[in-house]
Amino acid sequence: MAVKTTPDILVCLCENCVADSGTLPRQWDQDGCHIVVRMLPCTGRTDIQYLLHAFEDGARGVCVVACPEGDCTLFEGNYRAQVRVHLAKKLLKEIGMKENQVAMLHHSPKDSTDELKEKLREMVEEMSGL
């Protein structure tokens, strides 16, 4: 049986919001879902098309992890990501999908990576139930 490498849940993670990204697993299985983490230079690089492509490929959810408001290295990347995530939610609702399938989390590099792992675990639990 071929090993699954395409994600059920895609996590787009800003590289600046985790202090030791090396310790964060890049992929894992939880609640029957395959989760894949992709690092971004800034969540301002996300685009609605990126998010929707994941759904086209069969993903059940996409999560964008950005820096706390006002803490973006590029000043406004997290704000712009929020706008795009909001728009993606709107589009999903319009086509009859659940808007909760796209989520956004905030995490500061001052917080521990374990805290982020816990947040992601909770988010995956929620999405896998959809």
Partner 1 sequence: MPEKYHIHTHPEAPRFRIEGKLGIVDWREDCASCQNCVKKGCVYDIYKEETTALHEERGYLDYIYKCKGCLTCVQNCTKNILTRVVNTEYERLGDDYYKPEILLTTWFQAETGSIPVSGCGYGGPFSGPGFDSMWTDMSEIVRPTRDGIHGREYINTSVDIGRKLNHLSFNDGELDVKSPPIISSPLPLMFAELPVNWLRGSVPGILANVAKNLGLFSIVRENEIGDQDASMVNTVIPLLNNGSNGDSFVDSPMVIIPDSPDVLNTVESLKNAKAERIVAVRVMASPSVAGRVVSLVGAGVEVVNLVHDRSGREDAPDSPRHVRDVVRDVHGALLKAGTRDEMTLISSGGIALPEHMTKAVICGADLVTIDIPLLLAIECRLCGECEHGNPCSIRLEETEKEYGTQRVTNLMGTWHNQLLEMMGAMGIREARRLRGETGRCMFVEDLEKQAFGRLFGKRKTDYVI
Site for partner 1 in 33-52 (CB under 8 A): 36, 38-42, 44-45, 47, 49-50
Tell me the window of 14-22, 92-100, 104-112, 119-127 that interacts with partner 1 (CB under 8 A). 14-22
CB atoms within 10 A of CB 72: 21
Nearer to partner 1, 2 or 95 (CB): 2
Which of residues 4 and 93 has its CB atom nearest to partner 1 in the complex?
Answer: 4
Q: Cβ(18)–Cβ(115) under 8 Å?
A: no
Q: Would you say 45 and 12 are in contact if contact means Cβ atoms under 8 Å apart?
A: no
Q: Using CA atoms, how far apart are residues 16 and 109, in angstroms rounded to an integer? A: 7
Helix (H, G, I), strand (E, B) or coil at 38: strand
28 binds partner 1 (CB under 8 A): yes
Residue with tokens 């009859």: 96
CA distance 38 to 27: 9
Q: Which x/- pattern over 70-89 shows residues binding partner 1 (rule: CB under 8 A)?
A: ----x-xx--x--x------
Which residues form the interface with partner 1 (CB under 8 A)? 2-5, 7, 10, 12, 15, 21-22, 25-28, 36, 38-42, 44-45, 47, 49-50, 53-54, 56-57, 74, 76-77, 80, 83
